[in-house]
Amino acid sequence: MSTFDDRERAYEAKFAHDADLRFRAEARRNRLLGEWAADILGKTGEDVRTYAMTVVTSDFEEAGDEDVYRKLAGDLEGLVDSATIRAKMSEMMVEARRQIIDEVK
């Protein structure tokens, strides 16, 4: 094995690791958003978990965050404005990343 091969393998491993962490953080953010929205909607108990999972699965409709935003905006229409939803999405991404990093340590 050459040094180049070793570097290439290390780069590929880092890329895969970073992609995995990014996916986990986005899924965690979506669950946290779902729990936040469920509280606003007055859901309790198992309904909170079930609703949060619908938010997580809404992220698989298309690339990016707009599918999650549309889900939340539709469900929270008249309860929360667009700016609040987008701010909460950013806030929850920071929290999700922190949680994932803490778990990896």
Contacts 24+ apart (CB under 8 A), 86-91: 88/33, 88/36, 89/29, 89/33, 89/65
Q: What is the pLDDT of residues 25-50, one digit of tens each?
A: 999 999 999 999 999 999 999 999 99
Above 80 in pLDDT, residue 105? no
Domain boundaries along the sequence of the chain: 24-104
φ/ψ (deg, to 5) at 65: -100, -5
Rounded to whole angstroms, the Cα distance separating 27 from 64 reads: 12
Above 80 in pLDDT, residue 4? no
Q: What is the pLDDT of residues 50-100, one digit of tens each?
A: 999 999 999 888 888 999 999 999 999 999 999 999 999 999 999 999 999
Rounded to whole angstroms, the Cα distance separating 31 from 23 reads: 12
Task: Supply the pLDDT for residue 1.
Answer: 60
| pTM of this structure | 0.85
CATH for 24-104?
1.10.790.20
Rounded to whole angstroms, the Cα distance separating 46 from 26 reads: 22
